[in-house]
Amino acid sequence: MPGKYHIETKEVPPRTTTVGRFGIIDLYETCARGCRNCVKKKCIYDIHKKEFDFAHSLDRPTEFMNECMNCLMCVQNCTRGALTRTQNPEYTWLGNGYWKPAIIAGIWKMAATAKLPVSGAGYGGPFSGPGFDSMWTDMSEIVRPTRDGIHGREYISTSVDIGGLPSNLEFGPRGELLGEESPVIELPVPFILEVPPLGHISKNVLEAMARAARGMDTLFALDAEDAEEFSEEFAGWLAPRMKNSAIEKHAALIKSVRMVCLEDSPDALDAVARVKAINPGAVVRITLALGDGAEARVVELVEAGAEAIQLSADINGDIVYSDGRVEFIKDAFRRIHSLLVDRCVRDRATLIADGGIAMAEHLAKIIICGADCASLGIPFLVAMECRMCGACSRGVECPVNMSEVPPEDGAWRVMNLAAAWRNQLLEVLGAMGIREARRLRGEFGRAMFREDLERDTFQKIFAGA
């Protein structure tokens, strides 16, 4: 039996005060004081007992509130009705319209505990929504290839490859392989780490991400100047991003890494050749912003031999075209993937999705829509307690002091989150009866899209279509 891949985890509590959703408010003047029947003593979660401990903590006096399980037993049983529950306004300010407070709080929890979120009661969210919320993944009712359900999850592989596969192999008369072998990097998880476009990116943050990339055996894409600093310890897991003009300057670095990242440019393929001249074993990723003409450009690049292309939307997964049209990343990927399949060149290049991937389900869904893997930055920054408040972009002091993230703990939190996401991916793959993340790519048939369902169900019935 082959060794099983496993992400190491370690519980790392938050460094700073987390922001909870609700608070239990005590109307102290209503309290009868001498009441011997105080509901606070009866809390089955012992939250109120912690109130006393935390009251003495200067930096986090209200922390206990965030541990409240919201059962309302104290609120509903207090003799004088002196307790009430309210929304924490600070919670509603977290993130933005796409990175909702629940997503951010969820990431924090996973980053601290590495546990995949499990809860009771049915789903309480909207019926469907924009973006990834307009698709559902399928399941296989009876017949399934994994055949062993929850106990078989450990046999599901989440590995993916970065690099191009030739459409066929050619052999010489003695059976020897002809032509050059193109480099392929096998990642045990379908994502790479990347420095996000926002946030306070301190040296400690970079080191934490590099450590996590090494811990999980994936890659970490960061600027070449920063990569130089870490190359001694982490070279095998770094993917330096550089300008075409700086390729020769970073020759030593390029020789030591497995992947190099370039921006798309008219002479991108020449630049790739220059990198290959320095290190023929490196995979070169070309990053391309989704938008006008991106589709044609991807086809052009793939047909001309590009082996890995990262397609970027904005942090919310949106792509804005010059005519004002906005498209979501999943729809762009479906189109581009299908186009490459139609031209019989899909396997010649790896497509990496970037933007809008905020939850484990998004990762599964973008792979279904045709990405081989994703590049993730913001989720891991949030794992290290970033609140996406934008203070750093306004030159205001970071409320969670990202420059002080201890690299070891930061790495653990990143790996905790990654482990929780991977576990969720296994759930989805298991339910579909798919044994490999590789096979999930482009499996539109294993997903159900709202527009199709509405057309075939309600539109058919009610609009007579």
Partner 1 sequence: MSMTIENKIAAAPATREIKTAPSRFRNQIGAYKIFRSENCIGCGKCASLCPHGVHERFGDSGKMVRPRDYRCRGESCRSEEYFCINKCPAGALALRRNPVYSTLGDYRWTADLILSTWDQAENGHVTNETLESELGASGGGFDKLRFRFPAVPSGVAPSDVDTSLELNRRSDDPAAHKIKIDVPWYGGGMSFGSISDNMMVSRARAATAWNTFTCTGEGGYPELLRPYDDHIITQIATGLFGVREETVQRVKIAEFKYAQGAKPGLGGHLLGDKNTADVARMREAVQGTALFSPFPFHSVYSIEDHKKHVDWIKAMNPRALISAKVAAPSDVDMVAVGCYYAGVHIVHVDGSYGGTGAAPDIAKKNIALPIEYAITRVHNFLADEGVRDEITLIASGGLRNASDIAKAIALGADGVVIGTSDMVAVECIRCGNCESGRGCARGIASTDRELKHLIDIDYATQRLINLYNSYREQLVGIISRLGLRSVAELRGRTDLLMHLDYSKPE
Query: Phi/psi at 6 (nearest 5 deg)?
Result: -150, 135
Site string for partner 1, 302-341 (x = CB under 8 A): ----------------------------------------
Q: In a 3-state reduction of DSSP, which class is residue 370?
A: coil
In angstroms, rounded to a whole number, what is the distance separating the alpha carbons of residues 377 and 112? 18
Min dist. Cβ of residue 410 to partner 1 (A): 25
In angstroms, rounded to a whole number, what is the distance separating the alpha carbons of residues 100 and 107? 11
With respect to partner 1, which residue has the nearer C-beta, 167 or 457? 457
Single residue of 38, 65, 78, 205 touching partner 1 by CB under 8 A: 78
With respect to partner 1, which residue has the nearer C-beta, 73 or 391? 73
79 lies in the binding site for partner 1 (CB under 8 A): yes
361 lies in the binding site for partner 1 (CB under 8 A): yes
With respect to partner 1, which residue has the nearer C-beta, 2 or 125? 125
Residue whose C-alpha is closest to residue 358's, from 221, 139, 196, 158: 196
Single residue of 31, 246, 389, 453 touching partner 1 by CB under 8 A: 453
At 285, which amino acid appears? R
In angstroms, rounded to a whole number, what is the distance separating the alpha carbons of residues 351 and 367? 10
CA 43 to chain CA centroid, Å, is 36
72 lies in the binding site for partner 1 (CB under 8 A): yes
Min dist. Cβ of residue 50 to partner 1 (A): 15
Binding to partner 1, residues 119-158 (CB under 8 A): 119-129, 136-144, 147-151
In angstroms, rounded to a whole number, what is the distance separating the alpha carbons of residues 415 and 313? 25
At 284, which amino acid appears? V
Min dist. Cβ of residue 448 to partner 1 (A): 5
Length reported for the chain? 465
Q: Please give the DSSP secondary-structure letter assigned to residue 288.
A: E
Give the tokens for residue 23: 């608070």
Given phi > 0 = left and psi -120 to 50 = alpha, else beta, which region is 123? beta
Binding to partner 1, residues 9-48 (CB under 8 A): 22, 25, 44-45
Binding site for partner 1 (CB under 8 A): 22, 25, 44-45, 69-73, 75-79, 81, 84-87, 106, 116-129, 136-144, 147-151, 359-361, 364-365, 424, 427-428, 430-433, 448, 453-454, 457-459, 461-463
